[in-house]
Amino acid sequence: MPERRALSATIAQGLGIVALVAVVVGGLAGHQEWVPGFVGFRVFGLGLLLGVVTLLVGLVGIARTAAGSGRTGRPRATRGALVGAALTLLLIVMAAPGRNLPAINDISTDLEHPPAFEAAALEPANRGRDLTYPGEAFAAQQRRGYPDLRPLHVPGDPGAAYDAALAAAKRLGWTIVADDRARLRFEAYEETSFFHFVDDVVVRVRIDGDGSIVDVRSKSRDGKGDLGANAARIRRLFAEIEG
């Protein structure tokens, strides 16, 4: 009987091309800001997920084109499987940091009275968004996922603590959007380097006995989860303040 080309092999190669194009175009478009970062990221992520499908279909194609099967197309199936394997590996590496973290994107060191966003609410990108803290639903998840996050206690008067926190934020490269020393609070945002995601931050300083207490709230503008980015930002600020 004449050999037939395995359909799965052809599909695997086609899916591999589409997945690779989605990853490259989504990543490039988001990075260059041809489209909003979250749009580019979603196309990029869709390409990675399609890569998993490509790997599975490619493996089926390889199996169906085994010697003696009477079907051709193994090179196509192999190419598809290799592309799929590479994209699947990339997906695993990118998702690993958030594997055991809660799918929340608003983190505060004070869960009873989180600092409120004021200047951030006036940003055009935040118009129509509810910037109030989500409440106990988020707080419970934060306690489980980030049990180490607490307000930072520092020696000295609140004015000195405020100056130290503001200077630390500037050293970290945050963009300060509100500096209210009279109320001992400032707001800022930080932008990621690749997809240009923006997270808003508010820092509040209060007196605490003979010293001061620094509270921070960090909230992502996009997505439901943050892969731990907001908690990591708070930790970096505290480490910078403590020197």
Burial class (CB in 10 A: 0-12, 13-18, 19+), 132: exposed
Mean pLDDT in residue range 59-80: 91
Claim to verify: residue 83 and residue 58 sit in the same structural domain: yes
- In the chain, how many domains are there? 2
Claim to verify: residue 18 and residue 74 sit in the same structural domain: yes
Residues of the domain holding 75: 4-98
Of 98, 124, 153, the last residue of a domain is 98
d(CA 239, CA 152): 10
* CATH number for 126: 3.30.530.50
Claim to verify: residue 115 and residue 67 sit in the same structural domain: no
Claim to verify: residue 94 and residue 11 sit in the same structural domain: yes
pLDDT at 1: 43
d(CA 45, CA 23): 7
Residue 2 has pLDDT above 80, yes or no: no
Claim to verify: residue 129 and residue 180 sit in the same structural domain: yes
pLDDT band at 18 (very low <50, low <70, confident <90, very high): very high
Claim to verify: residue 56 and residue 88 sit in the same structural domain: yes
Of 50, 70, 98, the last residue of a domain is 98
Claim to verify: residue 230 and residue 164 sit in the same structural domain: yes
Strand pairing report for 71-72 and 4-5: parallel
Claim to verify: residue 155 and residue 214 sit in the same structural domain: yes
pLDDT band at 3 (very low <50, low <70, confident <90, very high): low
pTM for the structure as a whole: 0.87
Contact between 109 and 215 (Cβ < 8 Å) = yes
Claim to verify: residue 65 and residue 150 sit in the same structural domain: no
Claim to verify: residue 167 and residue 212 sit in the same structural domain: yes
Residue 128 has pLDDT above 70, yes or no: yes
Claim to verify: residue 47 and residue 161 sit in the same structural domain: no
Mean pLDDT of the chain: 94
166-187 tens-digit pLDDT: 999 999 999 999 999 999 999 9
Claim to verify: residue 113 and residue 94 sit in the same structural domain: no
Of 52, 72, 98, the last residue of a domain is 98
pLDDT at 100: 87
